[in-house]
Amino acid sequence: MKRIEIETIITYNLGEDKAYIVTRIKSDQTKLEKLGFKDKNITSDYNDYEIPKEFIKIGPKRKVSDKQRKLASERMKSINDTKYGQPKAKKPSKNT
């Protein structure tokens, strides 16, 4: 099968609260199944899902500034230190 034939199609309308997803992309299938959605089509080479329309979001990828990235990194380090005990000791630099 050509890569252009491996696709995901999302369909929804104003009259229903559900969206319909047909996909042959394994990563999309895995994400949907981890969210608890079951394949409705067990007889074909593609998977067919029915999900709440609220799960569909159309928008640009979030842009993160260097300052936001640094703050998030510090938060995660703090969380990991709390969760896993003492922070790792810093390695002595070769200059000292």
Domain span at residue 43 reads 3-55
User: 23-35: per-residue pLDDT in tens?
Assistant: 999 999 999 999 9
- Note whether residue 67 is domain-resident: no
Within-domain flag for 11: yes
Sign of the Cα pseudo-torsion (34, 40, 42, 46, in order): negative
pLDDT one-digit tens code per residue, 34-77: 999 999 887 788 899 999 999 999 999 889 999 999 999 999 99
**84 in a domain, yes or no?**
no
Asked, for residue 9, whether it belongs to a domain, the answer is yes
Which residues have C-beta within 8 Å of that of residue 40, sequence separation ≥ 6?
A: 48, 49, 50
Q: Is residue 60 part of a domain?
A: no
**31 domain residue, yes or no:** yes
Indicate the number of domains in the chain.
1
Residue 34 included in any domain: yes
pLDDT computed for residue 17 by the predictor = 97
Output the pLDDT for position 96: 54
- Asked if residue 49 belongs to a domain, the reply is yes
